[in-house]
Amino acid sequence: MKVPIVKDNKVIGFKNRYFKEVVPKWGNRKKLPKTTLENCALHILNIDIVDNTIASAKISMKVDTIIYIDILSLNKIKGLWKITNKIYTVRK
């Protein structure tokens, strides 16, 4: 997994990290305040399903003042839809 290299509050590059090293950082983040969580919004912008086996979805998620645009790849595995890939960008 690639993670940003930050210097002086700017991303100057990316470095490779094992996923197992990144997960604890996410899990130990400070929780968002209740008022922020109550004002979050998720919108499905588009879903494209092919042969009922694969799909892509574009979603918009607002958290506080930040809007995340995610594009998800999904596969139907043993009858259940699973996210198999995700890319995103941040709008401020």
Reported as a single tens digit per residue, the pLDDT across 44-85 is 999 999 999 999 999 999 998 899 999 999 999 999 999 999
Q: What gap in Å lies between CA 15 and CA 59, rounded to an integer?
A: 27
DSSP label at residue 36: H
Q: Map out the domains of the chain with their CATH numbers.
A: 1-30 (no CATH), 32-92 (3.10.450.50)
Cβ atoms of 37 and 62 within 8 Å: the answer is no
Taking the CA atoms of residue 89, residue 61, residue 18 and residue 29 in that order, the dihedral angle to the nearest 10 degrees is: 120
pLDDT of residue 31: 83
pTM for the model stands at 0.65
Structure tokens at 49: 């399903």
Cβ atoms of 55 and 74 within 8 Å: the answer is yes
Structure confidence at residue 90 as a pLDDT band (50, 70, 90): very high
